[in-house]
Structure 1
């Protein structure tokens, strides 16, 4: 995973970087947890199971999750989180122990999830004396486990291994799946999106080196117009497309989920984006079947603020039928406020294709 240390000017992220209850003690627990791997917890669970009767009596292990306290599921049994941690220290040959409370305990639970363990409880307690963590506290606690607080750089990963969805928080880039604790391939929920917004973070597609190379080719002066159009059409069909598929699953209009025929359409064209973040903004993208993508790119179709389709008068009833479009079509989801801004830019750029007077002169 690439670390991006100078995102702030790009995204105007103005909040000061401060982990919840940030202190040397918090940094220490984060550092210690990073050393505990899945095998340590599995060996810890095995040790607790060695004396099953005693463990059950002391409530360190049970066949069912606890009603209100967090438990860790391993091999169809549920383990007390704190006792599991104590034994994991031993399995790792470490003597450190910490009084986990507040954000530090949240860090621990998130670490277990990142290692692939199920962490659950029967229901949420009606009353809780613990201080409720804000959205930004929760994200920063998770971020601290992915990239140690104060580290100069995160561990580098090949571009092919990066999560197509990223979260920009405090000037750093994190994989959305790991930061939000998502199941592989699943999309952020509405609650996740609200948490990202509340935290002042930004959800975006991963940067794609291939897009930058294609852009450089488009700008060459020795290529024909046709060649430039062909190259430009390939921009955004890597990480950006994968991010849209992860978010939406299918075509933004028809709902078709056959990925082979889906294209990522930048609403406000890549070449026209004045801010780099606009090129990575999922709100600036529609996932469209190939025919709709081609029509949308040249402006023969567009969408209003409510998501209803606008069709150029150049396309008569026969042409519309042949292309599989009609005036009753619309976007599956009502456009967000951010999408409406991009859709307005697209309509402005392509209005000539849908103006009746202009269209009559083009026929």
Structure 2
């Protein structure tokens, strides 16, 4: 079993659902439809569902690794498998990945705010504002972050009923013909689907902070299922409303769907949608910042507050040159590739290595007994 930290710092097993789901839901949920159609087009729903199902296997691998780690996280796991120096280097690579993850959550949302609401506000000032809010929340510790992530579970689910309005104008022929794409096209859509569900990898840092770690497994799987179901519903409604040509030229399909909602007392529902989504974005950023702080604290020994400002400063520096949508697209491409390498390459390799080490250790112990 992986080691658990002091009980006063831990959270209940069911709250792992909110932490993982809160990290998976983010800015990509506003734009993912126009990306996953690259390849299988309207059939990309099946590719997306396949990626969601495969993440359950990745979750099982993570639990296997963490249960045999000396301190129950990827930091100690790296030191255990690679030694102190190489292990620390691998951990810092993961730290760099977390920085990209945070930037990929903040920068696209800041672009939405800048284009839709405050077009004359400098991007750097919005970046500082969001980073300060996230830093303030993170300074309260993991339990405060967990409370914020709870909003991320509630808010996207409450917005699902608003999809009834575009569904009234659905064109069901958009889905026809079904299954008219080859395996390569389905694989291409699956590749672009992963960005929407990134966030499960933070289990590698959260595990020691969960009470009754064995009982937390089902909640991690529930989180992944929840994070798969909500985008599938949104994508289904989007595909029924937009045809393939419209989706290819729509930057924020989810926001466009919110624009058609009209009430006698409310004209711009999309503004409410945008500002409510702030809670969703900030949840993922807070978990990312917390994970980065944890790495600096355990690897270098820097205290939490300086680690927070160092990480926040690095995120701000990375965002500064991203002044156009093309840079945001490149960032998303880099993170997508990194996510595939981490989840479907690195994690299985670590599992294989851990299994071999345990097999040789058991064989050696049996030989010594004889």
Larger-gyration structure (1/2): 1
TM-score, structure 1 as length reference: 0.24
TM-score of the two chains, using structure 2 as the length reference? 0.24
Q: Which structure has greater helix proportion?
A: 2
Greater fraction strand = 1
**Higher normalized contact order (CA 8 Å, seq sep 6+, divided by chain length):** 2
